[in-house]
Amino acid sequence: MKVLITGGAGFLGSHLCEKFLNNNYKVVCMDNFITGSPDNIAHLFGNPNFSFMNYDVTNFIHIEGDLDYILHFASPASPIDYLKVPIQTLKVGSLGTHKALGLAKAKGARFLLASTSETYGDPLLHPQPETYWGNVNPVGFRGVYDEAKRFAEAMTMAYHRYHNVETRIVRIFNTFGPRMRIEDGRAIPAFISQALENKPVTVFGEGTQTRSCCYVDDLVEGIYRLLLSDEVMPTNIGNPDEITMLGLAKEIIELTNSKSEIIFEPLPSDDPKVRRPDITKAKEILKWQPKIDRIEGLKLTIEDFKRRLGK
């Protein structure tokens, strides 16, 4: 079996490459390194079932031979990234999704779209089930990512309904683990790198906004099960264990034995106040739920950050 993973040199993409290689798939990893890194996949190049294409998925894609699955994970995913490259973010969600779906149609491959909890925006319903349509500001700064993913979902369903392409959509909630970029800008990598350097840990607003953090190994298992399932409609994959940003900062300072103090900065525009997945569907259909608790996952992530920071 052969799988193409776009964005395969990114944080999530690289872990997915490992998952499929460990299950004896041939893996084609595609990335243009806008936010991915060669370091994330360097250890895979000795595997005869692994190949890499340095390529922009918004262009026409050609893959030799048969192809069974396509996982479309190419996209900036951190606010600091998609605010820096807003046009590329919109293009990979629209043109990139279109090109990847076109390849799936041509090859008769099953297609899985990496969507996001950001499709729910700053939610008025809590926790968020897949049936919730969201509360998104299309012209706000975050709109370039939110609307790119919402469009990608619509495009995916159009290819499923009109061209009979086998499609799956995963809505990914906050995920963390080894290989997150140190300068990623999202809460966990920012808090860990600041704490390990004994620098002030930056919390936005009053720190009362919440996130639900899923360890990467759990997320990858959920995505794998969804791909092999018969579920066509969007499915939440995430950990419903919710925590405030202030609480998370305090946890990380304690786990790193840091001398850091917490400082507060203004809350960014359209920053969601709450975020927690309703995973009833994943439990029932995929027989999946997260197994690794936040503290255990943070310890593993901190060790990875220590190694890369030389601590």
List of residues 6+ apart from 88 with CB closer than 8 A: 34, 76
Contact 258, 196 (CB under 8 A): yes
Q: What six digits make up the tokens of 128?
A: 């968020």
What is the spatial distance between Cα 177 and Cα 300, in angstroms, rounded to a whole number? 7
Is 25 a residue of the active site? no
Where do the DSSP E strands lie in the chain?
Answer: 2-6, 26-31, 50-54, 69-72, 110-116, 167-172, 175-176, 201-204, 210-212, 214-215, 235-237, 242-244, 262-265
List 25, 82, 120, 145, catalytic entry: 145
**Residue closest to 159 by CA, chosen among 229, 125, 123, 111:** 111
Q: What six digits make up the tokens of 201?
A: 């840990």
Q: 310 burial class (0-12, 13-18, 19+ CB within 10 angstroms)?
A: exposed
What is the spatial distance between Cα 7 and Cα 55, in angstroms, rounded to a whole number? 10
In the chain, helix, strand, coil percent, each to 5? 40, 20, 40
Amino acid at the residue 200:
P
Instruction: Give the end-to-end CA distance of the chain in Å, rounded to a whole number.
Output: 41
What is the DSSP secondary-structure string of 234-256? -EEES---EEEHHHHHHHHHHHT
- Kindly list the catalytic residues: 145
